[in-house]
Amino acid sequence: MATIDLWVKDGHFSTPDGNSIYFWGLSKTAGGQAQIPGPHIVVRQGETVTVNLTNTLNSEPVSICFPGQPQVTVGGNPAQPQYGPGGSLLSFTNHAPPGGGTVSYTFTPNRPGTFVYESGTSPQTQVPLGLYGALVVRPADYDPDVASRKTAYGAGTATEYNREYLLITNEVDPDLHYAVEQGRPYPVRKFKPRYWTLNGRCAPDTMLPDNVPYLPHQPYGAMVMGVPGEKILIRMVGAGIDNHPLHTHGNHTRVVGLDGRLLRNGSRDLSFKRFTVLVEAGQTYDQIYQWFGLGYTPENPIPTTMPNLRNLGIGDAGWTMWSGSPYLGVKGDIPVGVVSFNEVGEYHLMLHAHEEHKITNWGEFPGGLMTMIAIYPSLGSGVGTLE
């Protein structure tokens, strides 16, 4: 049995343009800080899961829904909607009252896959405020030490992978967050995002490592890392209220699972390749990404003339992820005045929204739903794991 304890708290998260935005989030410990998105919940198919939720807010009840999970119970009874005086709907499921109230949910996942979890109480405001996260259910036969059983959907499903990453999308309208902080009404029909987030961060913060100390409420980075030929499992989760077309450079992805269901009908493989995946609100996509090198090295040079150095920077941003060399694992010259964040000559292939306004931070490029897929010459086995 897996027991997960979560505390609902408030805090302020940061954006790369210097803004500090009030939010509601979940903490893994009673003394910890709220985080956005909520902690990853990773369990195994057939394992009974209990999630204990404590609401430290004083303003209103909160709850958690687990879409895709069967027979969620509270206190031994089926979880059910909550109604107020006059029959008005208060919550889509049992909630924890404000001021320290608690509620416990129990369920047993019956199939592997990627799922969203989110508030079921006033979700039109509580989810955008930050009460959401991802639930990963591993197959019953999962074994990370056996290649044929390190899979997304079980042995024999052609979903083996070497590394895995979670990318959770959301949108931020600062007016909503400020209104809640001030205790003022907010008309949802005026929702107008100014920021778009991957794992609670806007680019370029998405490319920073996990748990950097200057982003205490946003612990999860969104950089995808691998080596040539590896199978990289990218689990995409649409936790907001908008749909986002996410596109990978360097290669198509093969979509193997949708909403926690393996794309297979009996022995017929229904997986498909996509140039861009439209991650819709509430949906999840499991995808396998691979990058294969062309085999060029300094001893086997690229048979074309390289552009002028000045034309290889990234516009007027003043920084680049480029190494200065076209060869994997080799670093070269960078244009004067451009800062390179390349580490060891790795390749950086962009992963971003194909709606241009979503790769900005309040109108300024670069930002929003953008990160990189970094292909390294080599990586340790501990990179690209979910716990």
Q: Which residues contact 144 (CB under 8 A, 6 or more apart)?
A: 150, 385
Looking at residue 313, its pLDDT comes to: 58
Looking at residue 105, its pLDDT comes to: 98
Residue with tokens 């995946």: 277
Q: Which residues of the chain register pLDDT less than 70? A: 309-317
Looking at residue 314, its pLDDT comes to: 57
CA distance linking residue 387 with residue 385, whole number of Å = 7
Looking at residue 317, its pLDDT comes to: 65
Positive or negative: CA dihedral 81, 115, 33, 194: negative
pTM of the complete model: 0.95
Q: Provide the pairing of β-strand 276-279 with 272-274.
A: unpaired
Looking at residue 237, its pLDDT comes to: 98
Strand partners, 225: 374
CA distance linking residue 262 with residue 148, whole number of Å = 17
Looking at residue 356, its pLDDT comes to: 92
